[in-house]
Amino acid sequence: MDRIVVQGGGPLSGKISISGAKNACLTLMPATLLSEEPLTLTNAPRLSDIRTMTTLLQSLGAEVSCMQDGKVLAMSSHCADNHVADYDIVRKMRASNLVLGPLLARHGHAVVSLPGGCAIGARPMDIHITALEAMGAEIELKEGYLHAKTNGGLKGGDIALRFASVGATENVMMAATLAKGTTVLRNAAREPEIVDLALCLRAMGAQIEGEGTDTITIEGVTSLHGATHPVVADRIETGTYMLAPAIAGGTVELEGGRIGLLGAFCEKLDAAGISVEETATGLRVSRKNGRVNAVDVVTEVFPGFPTDLQAQMMALMCTAEGVSVLEEKIFENRFMHAPELIRMGAQIDVQGGTATVTGVDRLKGAPVMATDLRASVSLILAALAAEGETVVNRVYHLDRGYERVEDKLGACGARIERVNEND
């Protein structure tokens, strides 16, 4: 099993290219199941989660080819004839549940295992199920699988989500493209990944309005055609690498980064004393002067502060001037990185969904354990500023969402390497 070894203490300087968004690409890939014609995605990230979704689609009978070193995904579902998403694949990644809506819409039936993923809290399927049932689906849970079918196809409806779930919004959007009549989805998620999905579906012939707002309207069509679509830049990867020079010092340019995808996050960085400048190709990030200021953070649905940047922000706050309070309102059990940061000398007190961080002058390198995807990279960020060597174990989580992190940070002067236990 691989581990990441970091020698901390030096400032960063250089450029990092931002990859296509993992969460967007994982949503776009199942859209191929909606059409018999090819769907091609450009700017795809090269991640283990993308490989898992590829395996799942292929198990359903879709053809998926990776081109240009994996940055282009060419897909076709003209021969997709299997409607069972097996547990052995689905358990590896929560986004696997996004095949449910497309399979129901195009074929009228599907059997999909309940999904897996990081252990950061319960993300139940009930919102997905209730919404699809409002469109005429009959769904029954048997032995860990959702058995779904329709009687004469899905029908449009007026659906209000009890929570602005990103996954449920995406599943309903895809299902509604081929439903009979009009679907109005209220309290819809507004994340950039939702907008990117709408752009892709519209390129395939779907009739969608309102993406990026809390009300999305989809007029069903009889069929969708093929399309080529570029995956939007990864806002979470962007935010993560924005924090690297904030923690370690120095200046880093992020090619492809966009402030518009991270408004609330950028406001917190400004308050903490971090300079973020737009450039012709992306963003330039550095400290304004001296030690970072402590700021309070509350995670919220978009356009609020992203829960997927909470762990990384905590790493920054560990050496900030003063006391910061981080409140997690999206997922329970998402402070599993705190004990590992404490091993590095951080002062963190966790009480339920709130973490109080008292900044220290310096962190110390230590062996630590990655518990989930975002926790993994938060430990690497903390290690950049720590005194001595930090060894981050169980980094298979990291590879689910970050492409060549050791190469990208290493190109900016970080002393970081990936080591296999067999080496």
Instruction: Indicate whether 374 pLDDT > 60.
Output: yes
Give Cβ neighbours of residue 305 (< 8 Å, ≥ 6 apart): 264, 265, 268, 297, 298, 299, 313
| Residue-wise pLDDT tens digits, 251-279 | 999 999 999 999 999 999 999 999 999 99
Buried b (16+ CB within 10 A) or exposed e, 98-124: bbbbbbbbbbbebbbbbbbbbebeebe
- Pairwise CA distance, residues 99 & 367, whole Å: 39
Look at residue 125 in the predicted model and tell me its pLDDT: 85
Look at residue 281 in the predicted model and tell me its pLDDT: 95
Residue bearing the bigger pLDDT, 192 or 114 = 192
Give Cβ neighbours of residue 339 (< 8 Å, ≥ 6 apart): none
At 182, the pLDDT band (50, 70, 90 cuts) reads very high
- Pairwise CA distance, residues 335 & 382, whole Å: 15
Instruction: Indicate whether 120 pLDDT > 50.
Output: no
Look at residue 423 in the predicted model and tell me its pLDDT: 58
Asked if 121 and 149 count as a contact pair (C-beta separation under 8 A), the reply is no
Look at residue 146 in the predicted model and tell me its pLDDT: 92
Look at residue 383 in the predicted model and tell me its pLDDT: 98
**Residue from 374, 260, 245, 258 nearest 309 by CA:** 374
| Residue-wise pLDDT tens digits, 37-70 | 999 999 999 999 999 999 999 999 999 999 988 8
423 is in an annotated binding site: no
Asked if 326 and 317 count as a contact pair (C-beta separation under 8 A), the reply is yes
- Measure the N-to-C terminal CA separation of the chain; round to a whole number of Å: 10
Count how many residues are written for the chain.
Answer: 423
Look at residue 226 in the predicted model and tell me its pLDDT: 97
Look at residue 312 in the predicted model and tell me its pLDDT: 97
118 labelled catalytic = yes
Instruction: Indicate whether 116 pLDDT > 60.
Output: no
Domains in the chain, CATH or no CATH each: 2-19+233-420 (3.65.10.10), 22-230 (3.65.10.10)
Instruction: Indicate whether 285 pLDDT > 60.
Output: yes
**Residue from 256, 253, 249 nearest 284 by CA:** 253
Look at residue 91 in the predicted model and tell me its pLDDT: 85
Q: Which two tokens stand for residue 114?
A: 């309940």
At 396, the pLDDT band (50, 70, 90 cuts) reads confident
| Reported pTM | 0.93
399 is in an annotated binding site: no
Residue that has been written with the tokens 């399979």 in this structure: 103
Look at residue 36 in the predicted model and tell me its pLDDT: 95
| Residue-wise pLDDT tens digits, 85-105 | 999 998 888 788 999 999 999
349 is in an annotated binding site: no
Average pLDDT score over residue span 394-401: 88
Q: What rounded mean pLDDT belongs to the chain?
A: 94
**The one catalytic residue among 25, 66, 79, 118:** 118
At 117, the pLDDT band (50, 70, 90 cuts) reads very low
22 is in an annotated binding site: yes
Average pLDDT score over residue span 333-356: 94
23 is in an annotated binding site: yes
Buried b (16+ CB within 10 A) or exposed e, 306-343: bbbbbbbbbbbbbbbeeebebbbbbbeebbbbbebbbb
At 121, the pLDDT band (50, 70, 90 cuts) reads very low
Query: Where does 301-401 have alpha helices with state H?
Result: 310-317, 338-343, 373-385
